[in-house]
Structure formats: structure tokens, C-alpha cells
Amino acid sequence: MIREATSSDKHHILEFCQDTFSWGDYIEDVWDYWLSEGILLVYVKNNPIGISHAVFMKDHVWIEGIRIDPNFRRQGIASKLVEQIETRAIKNGIPTSLMLIDSQNTPSLTMSENLGYKKYQTWNFYSLLPHKTNSVELSFESDLKENEFSHYVKSWRWLSLDKETTSHLNAKNCVIRSGIANKSTAILEDSEHFKKTLIVTLFAESESNTTNLLSFLQNYGYEKNYYRVQILTKEKLPKIQNLDFKLSFQLMQKLLS
């Protein structure tokens, strides 16, 4: 049975979400947020053995946090959870579904492709350690244009850069550019789920402009007392001290209508 999650499901879910990745999992940190935002579904067989969270946006549904108890994998449970979310999205007139999958996670990629998802974009995740540097001075700008880029990342969710979103970001004054020609651009957002975490969507053009921007971000993170700076970009970034490549992801897309 698939149903909405309740607070009492938490301990059952965390029992099989301790070692999802080599470093553990983040479900415990976001569970309470997810209960109150979007829809959090559980698949129940006596006890909850699978979960998935989704957020409905204007032009797409964002699906995240698919977890299945290892004792019940390869039984189509993940697919059933995704299909339930898609059904709800269609009823709400949402035309597209997006999800992010580790490029090395072959089972999940296969599952999504079997459901009709296609690889839409490849994104890279870098971690930048905040550190005092002699960075070039850059200023925040409010000149982001509608559809200048396809998406930006807010709390590890990909949002379309439509007119409304770009207007909102310009009003927040959270866009940094480096260079005159072949500008590199960064959109800065605080994580909604993790303390002192800066999430940066980086559109890298020339190597020199990107290096300047990375140096600025490193120093900015230090000055603002961030614990971590997480960078999401479609490009490969130049090597600088304290910048570590973590993973690449496939942004998977399915047209629902």
C-alpha cells in the first residue's frame, strides 16, 4: 500500500536509511521538512519499506529521496512510488517530471529509463572549503535574464529560470558575474535544510573568469561563516586549492503530457 507518510514512520524509515551512501544518508536531517512541504509517500508492507518525496512546481514535479529497504529491492517498489507521484502531478496539470540520479547509480538510472525518463542534462557537484583569499572584488548584480540559463539549484532542487524566477532572484540580489566577455555567472542561495550551507549554481565560461569567481566564493564563504559551499555546474571546473569534485549526476526528464 502507498500512503502519505506520518511522523510515526520516521524510525522505520531511518532503520534502512543509515548506510545508503558511503558517508551515510541525509534523510534524518530533512524528514521533518519533507513532512510539511510537497508530498512524502511511503510504501507499506506491515511497516514502511520505501519512501519518495516530491514537490509540485509550476512547470514540473521534482521527485527526490527515493529509498527502498534493501530486503525489498528489485520488486518494482520504487517504480510504483514514482508512478503514484506522476499520477498526482498529471491531475494537477503539471506537464513534466524531473529527478536527479548519480551517474554511477545504474539500477536507478535503469528504473527511470524503464519508466520513460531520458537523460536531459549532466551536472557536476563540487565542494569548496570556505577560506580567506586575496580574491578579486566582484559585486552582486541584478541583471539575470529570463531563460538565460535553463535551471538553477535551490536546496538541491532544479528550478526553471522563467520570468518570475529571474525577477525574484534579481530582487534578492544574489547573482555574481566575473568578466566582461565570456562572463562566468553564479547564483547564490542558502540551503533551506542545512545550517550555514551555501548552494551555488555556477555557469562557467572562460577559465580565468571562473577561477576569479571561485576565489571570490571561497572568500565570501569564509567572511559569511558558512560551514560549506556546494557548487552545482554543468561544466568541469578549473583546479584550485580546496575545491573538490564529488559526483556527477544525470538530470532525468519525462514529459507527462
| Domain region containing 237 | 125-250
pLDDT at 136: 81
Q: What domain count does the chain have?
A: 2
139 and 68 together in one domain:
no
Is 46 part of any domain?
A: yes
Is 108 part of any domain?
A: no
68 and 137 together in one domain:
no
Contact 47, 69 (CB under 8 A): no
Is 107 part of any domain?
A: no
pLDDT at 25: 79
148 and 216 together in one domain:
yes
Is 232 part of any domain?
A: yes
Is 100 part of any domain?
A: no
Is 104 part of any domain?
A: no
In this prediction the pTM is: 0.93
Is 225 part of any domain?
A: yes
136 and 231 together in one domain:
yes
Please give the Cα distance from 128 to 220 (Å, whole number).
11
Question: Any idea what the CATH number is for the domain that residue 70 is in?
Answer: 3.40.630.30
86 and 165 together in one domain:
no
Is 202 part of any domain?
A: yes
pLDDT tens track, the chain, 257 positions: 999 999 999 999 998 887 776 667 789 889 999 999 999 999 999 999 999 999 999 999 999 999 999 999 999 999 999 999 999 999 999 999 999 999 999 999 999 999 999 999 999 999 999 999 887 889 899 999 998 999 999 999 999 999 999 999 999 999 999 988 889 999 999 999 999 999 999 999 999 999 999 999 999 999 999 999 999 999 999 999 999 999 999 999 999 98
